[in-house]
Structure 1
Amino acid sequence: MMMRKFLRSFRFATAGIVTAFKREQNIRFHLIAAIIVVLAGCLTRISHVEWFVVILLIAGMLALEMVNSAIERVVDLATTDFQPLAKQAKDMAAGAVLVFAVASAIIGLLIFLPKWF
């Protein structure tokens, strides 16, 4: 019984990932960016350590974008009226995505620029 419950949790998680990719434009943008980065990594033959960093950044970006989308949905579910705290929660979640995206871009430049020049 415990194993069935464990396996079912993977189905729920997969459904969440599929929903995010179907309904969220930003996560599709990040996926396209990730594909480009992976291709660039293959072409420039980045090291194993650099692949480790790139994979962590890609996974972190996609996961954080899904958390942001979940927060937005929960806030929208909680209130249909304009609430300053609801706006702040949504803005902070979006800000977290932006901070991680900028940091990821800087790290990406640090990895790839030396290989291109």
Structure 2
Amino acid sequence: MIKFIKGRVKGVGYAFKGAYLLITTEASVKAQFFIGVLVTIAGIYFNISTTEWIVQTLTIGLIMSLEGLNTAIEEIADFIHPEHHKKIGLIKDLAAGAVFIFAIAAIIIGCFIYLPKMV
């Protein structure tokens, strides 16, 4: 049981390190983090409901997670094939496309939450 707990604590340490590296080194994650801070401030200012907080928090978490997965895919692709390759480019574009699709959804969610409060 102790070994299991130690393993989980070590795993949380690796996860924290990865999150820290993403937020401090990756431009796209920095941008998403900044936007997340801005909409959090907006949520406080506009006194959004508990349900809106839940949706907003999940949206921020998901977009940042997708950015992290996209970054990991890009790093793996670059490691496997450092020079330009058509298939690697396709893989990177697909991963970036997935982030883009959810970013559009996040903007729409933000509009649903905040536009009614601004008019």
TM-score where L is the length of structure 1: 0.97
Structure 2 unmatched runs, 5+ = none
Q: 20, 23, 48: which is aligned to 1:46?
A: 48
Structure 2 residue 7 is matched with structure 1 residue 5: yes
Q: CA deviation at 1:57?
A: 0.2
Q: CA deviation at 1:91?
A: 0.5
Q: 106, 109, 112: which is aligned to 1:110?
A: 112
Count of residues in Structure 1 that have an aligned counterpart in Structure 2: 117
Structure 1 unmatched runs, 5+ = none
Aligned to 1:23: 25
- SS, match of residue 65 in structure 2: helix
2:91 is aligned with what amino acid? Answer: A
- SS, match of residue 98 in structure 2: helix
TM-score where L is the length of structure 2: 0.95
- Say what the alpha-carbon RMSD is for the aligned residues: 0.7
Runs (4+) of structure 1 exceeding 2 A deviation are none
Residue-by-residue CA offset, 1:17-70 (whole Å, 9 max, x unaligned): 111112101111111101110111111111111111000000001100000000
